[in-house]
Amino acid sequence: MTEERTRALATAVIVGALVLSSTVALTSPTVDARPAHEIPVTERPDAALGSPTAAGWSSVPASDVPLSSAPSSVPNADDTSIEQVHVQAVRSDGEFYLRLQWEDPTQNVSAASTRTFLDAAAVQFPVDTSSRPPIAMGGQDNRVNVWYWSGDGGTQELLAGGAGTTTSFPSPVVDATATYRDGTWTVVYSRELGAGEGSDDRTDLDSADSLDVAFGVWNGANGERAGRKAVSEWHYFPLDTSPQGPPYQTLLWTIAGLAIVAVVGVTAFGVLRTRSDEGER
């Protein structure tokens, strides 16, 4: 067998392997490439999403964020009832909209007596978006902003640097509206993206590639209040909207395909070269 024929056969094998690997990549089941704990943020110019029932929310991607009882020394801290919260987020013309939904069979909107408690929900962000603070109300070196809504219609914007350090902003800039229907609470928070001039204690929602976020929910009918609450781990919003490269699973398939081609090509060429040498003896 001539060396030219050997090379031709090796080339044919390599081309065949390349076609095969490309076919495998294209026909392989697609998987969700979104990393764990990422919550998508939708860009929606001129969106009117301040109402929980706004029609535009139906087309906004969502994430189901699991909740569990917060570590706490308060009585019955591990007895919480809300297991997940449905989260949607939109940026629109300088505004940030955040919609939370969760199932709750009872609507608790009054705390008129010492044994009644409000349904409530909270969203937590780091003040310094370049690092992740302790999830339990932040720490001295990285405080957190908390947006707190309660079933009586109250909305607070809070600052905390650890348990027991919570203070209220004297002039809150967060709005919240809510509806309760068919055993489900829906709450929409809204705020301008920028922290505002001189607001070093307020999270800038537009200054980082990604923004850490955590959630808490209280079921008043279950006696949940203060440290007795269902909470999430840290999740994050991807805020960088610059053009990105191909999804990482596509890159993995490409690298794997090239590796297969290289191995098959080298192996085939070696085998054919050996046979050629034996034929010339």
Mean pLDDT (10-residue bins), the chain, 281 residues: 52 44 42 70 93 96 97 92 98 96 97 93 96 94 96 97 93 96 98 81 89 98 96 94 45 48 49 54 52
Residue 281: the pLDDT is 52
Q: Residue 230 burial by CB count (10 A; 0-12/13-18/19+): exposed, middle or buried?
A: buried
Contact 124, 215 (CB under 8 A): yes
Q: Residue-wise over 240-279: b if at least 16 C-beta within 10 A, else e?
A: eeeeeeeeeeeeebeeebeeebeebbeebbeebeeebeee
Residue with tokens 């610059």: 242
Residue 27: the pLDDT is 40
Q: In 3-state terms, what secondary structure has residue 23?
A: helix
* Main-chain dihedrals φ then ψ at residue 110, nearest 5 degrees: -145, 140
Cβ count near 46 (within 10 Å): 7
Residue 9: the pLDDT is 47
Residue 279: the pLDDT is 57
Residue 32: the pLDDT is 40
**Six token digits for residue 153:** 């219609």
HSE-CB at 83 with a 13 A cutoff on CA atoms is: 1
Tell me 93's DSSP state: T
Residue 206: the pLDDT is 86
Residue 114: the pLDDT is 87
Contact 271, 14 (CB under 8 A): no
One-character DSSP codes across 205-260 = TTSSSEEEEEEEEE-GGGT--TT--EE---EEEE---S---S-HHHHHHHHHHHHH
* Main-chain dihedrals φ then ψ at residue 7, nearest 5 degrees: -65, -40
